[in-house]
Amino acid sequence: MTVAVRGLDVALGGRPVLRGVSLEVPAGSWTAVIGPNGAGKSTLLRAVLGLVPSDGEVAVAGADLSALKPRQRARLVAYAPQSPNLPVDMTVFDYTLLGRSPYIPHLGRESARDRAVVAEVLERLDLTDFAGRPLDHLSGGERQRVVLARALAQQTSVLLLDEPTTALDIGHQQQVMELVDQLRLSDELTVVTTIHDLTLAGQYADDLVLLSDGRVAAAGPPAEVLTRSAIEEHFDARVNVFPGPDGRPILSLERP
């Protein structure tokens, strides 16, 4: 399913946060939204979901998400927020099972299939051993994987991930990114993720969108967006950019 945003404006607290943002994410592709702190990346994901008021057009597979009922929307798009409010007493299994809510009838119970989907997602994210544990008995990285597990359990065609790897060690970063990539390829998932690790963004995404001060400053394949001059201009950072073995850019900080 294609995600299309055209001329999106968002104001929060009376201040413009997104200004004329447009992007198009073709079905089955992965776009990473990058940019400095406060650029508007999380707001963009929230606006796509219709969680913040906006002007402009947002369409997922041609549909306006804000016009859909939450249950219908949750069958189309899954969202893993950066810092969700977690019900601390809930177990990992039950929290992940919330991802199946759009498929469970009102006043009904989850089916054996719902439980099987949850068990499979937990297995793929290395969380099976934690299934019975309450959420406040987890480390930050374990909790982040559980938030992703809930989103994957929704089995939607579009996945919006807000900084899914910030708390993860390098092994779990690779595991999460590879898993999302596999799902993208096998199930034609459309993925939009915000991410601060620019090398990681460039390794996995088809396209990058660089947001700066609420506007799209650059967009396109990683090698076109991740240039030394763009990083200096928008992040105020001095970096060296090398082509990796597959031609995708690798960034390292330059010491003065």
Ligand X SMILES: Nc1ncnc2c1ncn2[C@@H]1O[C@H](COP(=O)(O)OP(=O)(O)OP(=O)(O)O)[C@@H](O)[C@H]1O
What SS3 state is found at 127?
Answer: coil
Measured from the CB atom, the residue of 39 and 146 that comes closer to ligand X is 39
Amino acid residing at 212: S
Our finding on whether 37 is near ligand X (CB under 6 A) is yes
Measured from the CB atom, the residue of 122 and 211 that comes closer to ligand X is 211
Distance CA 192, CA 77 (A): 11
Measured from the CB atom, the residue of 65 and 127 that comes closer to ligand X is 65
Our finding on whether 209 is near ligand X (CB under 6 A) is no
Measured from the CB atom, the residue of 42 and 190 that comes closer to ligand X is 42
Two structure tokens written together for 204: 């996995």
Token look-up 């016009």 returns 67
Q: Residue from 1, 21, 29, 43 that binds ligand X (CB under 6 A)?
A: 43
Q: Residue from 8, 21, 41, 95 that binds ligand X (CB under 6 A)?
A: 41
Applying CB under 6 A, the site for ligand X has a residue count of 12
- Quote the least distance from Cβ 53 to ligand X, whole Å: 11
Two structure tokens written together for 158: 């579009």
- Quote the least distance from Cβ 17 to ligand X, whole Å: 4
State how far the alpha carbon of 35 is from the alpha carbons of 22, 197, 225, 231, 241, in Å.
15, 10, 11, 9, 17
* Contact residues for 240 (Cβ-Cβ < 8 A; gap 6+): 228, 251, 252, 254
* Contact residues for 247 (Cβ-Cβ < 8 A; gap 6+): 223
Measured from the CB atom, the residue of 214 and 249 that comes closer to ligand X is 214
Our finding on whether 12 is near ligand X (CB under 6 A) is yes
Residues forming contacts to ligand X in the complex (CB under 6 A) are 12-13, 15, 17, 35, 37-43
